[in-house]
Structure formats: structure tokens, C-alpha cells
Structure 1
Amino acid sequence: MATDFEKKKKQQQVVQYDISMYKRGDLLEVPRTFFTHFGIYLGNNCVAHLIPDIMPVLTTEKNALEKMVNNNRLMLGVIAKKAGVRVDLVEDFAYGAEILVNHMDKVCIRSPFEGEEVVKRAEKLLSVVYSLLWYNCEHYVMYCRYGTSMSIQTYQVRFFRREKGSKISSL
């Protein structure tokens, strides 16, 4: 019987992405179970995305660093507050999920930069200090595309916690 990981891997291999839909500088969103992951399309089937990863703390071996980040590496990266900007193929970035293109254009007041400027900003920020709440993949792409570092997801989490806390304390 196949494990969940094997089923997911098989599903990932079946999904084909029409990269002709994407332009350099597009903001790509991939819905996940508990959050949305964000990246910037660089062209040539490549996406730059900020992702937590413990591996650079443990080794400088290029082969180990280039392997896809698994959940253990990701979670340990979150705990250690270590992340890096990776450039991966669209398929590896999406991991079998649907990709939304420039969805944030509808909610951001600022106009996006031109595609080449977005790509230049994305490629310039290869090393950043990571924080799940204060600087994550959404902050990264928002800075690259709109010039402002913000995360709607973490704002909602912080606002929800504050609201929940105030209700409890007022009882």
C-alpha cells in the first residue's frame, strides 16, 4: 500500500503547468493546508521563493543544499529562524497544487513594479533574516512586487490572537 508521501509525489508528477501563462515578475501563490506559499516567477520555468531551511546551518555541501526542502528541514528552519531564497522549477515550487497568478494585485493598494524590476529585486534578496510572523515568503514577494514588506496571512493570525485574547480577558 502506498504511503501518503508516495501518493503526493505521484500526484505531483501528473500535474502539468502551462508556463506560457506566466510573465517575468508575476507573483505566484500556492495554497497549502494551513497557509499560502508565495514566489516570484523569474522566467524559464523558474520561481524565486523564500523558504525556511535548516540545511545551510548544517552543511555547505552543494548537493545537499540543492535537494528539495522537505517538511523536517522546513520546520527546523522555522524554529532556527533560518531561511533562504531558493530558485526552483515551477513544478517543485507548486508541489502539485494550483497556482494563482498576481492575485495580490486585487488587494494591494500599491501598483506593482514592472516585471523586470520585480525580478531584479527578487534576485537581489538572496539572503534575509527569516521570521514566520515578521518576515516570511509573503513579506518577500510583497517587497519585490510592490515595494512594501507585509503579510496579510500573519496580520490575520496576529489580529485573531489579539481578538481572542481580548474576549477571554473581558469575561
Structure 2
Amino acid sequence: MFPLQLLNLFFTASTLEDKNLPTPDPSLFKRGDLLEVPRTMFTHFGIYLGDGRVAHLIPDILPLITKNKGAISTMVSNTRLILGSIAKVASVRVDSLTDFAYGSEILVNHTDKLCSQPPLDGDEIGRRAEKMMGSVTYSLLWYNCEHYVMYCRYGMAISYQTYQFCTATRKIFCSRMNAYLTAFCSMATLFYLGCLTPLTTLPTLVLPFTIWMAS
């Protein structure tokens, strides 16, 4: 499926998606505002620069398969975004409010209620956002669009989405019940196979012990 997606993107790289997207009112935003919109399975973030322009860090697979700057500069679809996340290819770019919102309602400065650090001056936020333009090393957990905007607005590269994901993962995998189940399944497998040697027994004990200590 992945190669087919790449081929489809390659042959349609020069064609902008035919979408009648609503145009947000620029008068509702000021330079330095932190904008949020829902995108696919997560929230996407950007910094408003003024004049209907938004700086945002966004994954995009297209730069890997074409050098056509005109095609790359078009609105990043959800397909391009998802494949870019998998390939870890991203950049900080400036798009219009319409392309950034992608048809969704825009939430403004919601993180001010969550972050203990007060926001910087609007012009300073905008300067930070503009200074980081270009290709970046992308990581869904360790450096994503939220890390970028949080650094620009508050001076701290953090992600509440990542924190919530890691917390949920810890509750699922690092629970005492999971430690019991892992130990039981590991020992049952060993006895069934009859391979009670140091090389097989040690890893079997280490995994449930690690989960137990992390719970």
C-alpha cells in the first residue's frame, strides 16, 4: 500500500486538491497567536504571523519524491501528512490560514490555560517562528508541531499530546496485571518448549521484572 500511495502522489504532485475550504477571518487573530486545528488522528498547531499567514511544522512526504517546489508548496493533504510522519520528513513552512485550517475550526491560545509559563511578546513569538523555517528532523513523540509552537510561544519545547500518549501507554503496558500476565505467559512457554537454559530463562525473567519495576 505504501508504494502505491507514493506513486499516486508522484503522478498528482502538480495538482492541487479540489476542495472548497472555508476562509477563516484574519481579523480574529494577531501576530504570535498559537492556533490549533484537528488533523486526522491528532491536533495540528501553528503560529499566526499576520496578514493571513501561519508558520507551522508539518510532515510531508512530497519532498522525498519530487523537487517540484510548486507542488510542494500546495496545501498538505492528510495523505501527505501521514506518509510524511511515517517517513519522518517535515519542515517549518508558511501557509495561508485556509490551507492551515484545512476546513476545521481554529482554536486560539488554548495552551495558555495549560502552560505555567506566560507567553512571550507577540513579535518575539513571530520572530522565533520565522527563524526556524526550513527542513527539520521530525519525531512524532520527541519533536512534532506542538514542540515547535510551544518553544516559539513559551520558550519550552514540550508536547501535551506526547505526554498524554506516554501516560496512557504506561498505564496499559506498565501495570502490575501486565507484569503478572507476562511472567505467566513466559514461564508457560518455557515449560511447554522444555528449553530451561540460562540463555532462555534470563530474558524470560527480565521482561516481567522490568514491567513490574515500571508499574
Same fold? TM cut 0.5: yes
Is 1:159 the counterpart of 2:159? The answer is: no
What does residue 149 of structure 2 align with? 141
What does residue 60 of structure 2 align with? 53
Is 1:111 the counterpart of 2:118? The answer is: yes
Which amino acid letter does the alignment assign opposite residue 169 of structure 2? R
Residue in structure 2 matching 1:18, options 18, 25, 29: 25
**Paired-residue identity, %:** 61
Q: Deviations over 1:89-109 (max 9, x none)?
A: 111111111111111011101
Runs of 5+ unmatched residues, structure 2: 1-17, 182-215
In 2, Cα distance between equivalents of 1:47 and 1:85: 10
- Please identify the structure whose Cα radius of gyration is greater: 2
What does residue 106 of structure 2 align with? 99
Cα RMSD after superposing both structures? 1.6
Q: Deviations over 1:110-149 (max 9, x none)?
A: 1111011001100111232110111111001001101110
Runs of 5+ unmatched residues, structure 1: 1-7
Work out whether residues 40 and 78 of structure 2, in 8 Å CA contact, stay in contact via their aligned partners in 1.
Answer: no
Is 1:129 the counterpart of 2:137? The answer is: yes
1:157 deviates by 0.6
Larger relative CO (CA 8 A, sep 6+): 1 or 2?
A: 1
Which contiguous aligned blocks of 4+ residues in structure 1 show a shift greater than 3 angstroms?
Answer: none
Q: Secondary structure at the match of 1:9?
A: coil
Q: Deviations over 1:6-65 (max 9, x none)?
A: xx934x2xx342211211010001123521110000000000111101122223221121
In 2, Cα distance between equivalents of 1:38 and 1:88: 12
What does residue 70 of structure 1 align with? 77
Is 1:32 the counterpart of 2:42? The answer is: no
Which amino acid letter does the alignment assign opposite residue 169 of structure 1? A
Which amino acid letter does the alignment assign opposite residue 9 of structure 1? K
Q: Which range is displaced more, 51-60 or 139-148?
A: 51-60
TM-score, normalised to structure 1's length? Answer: 0.88
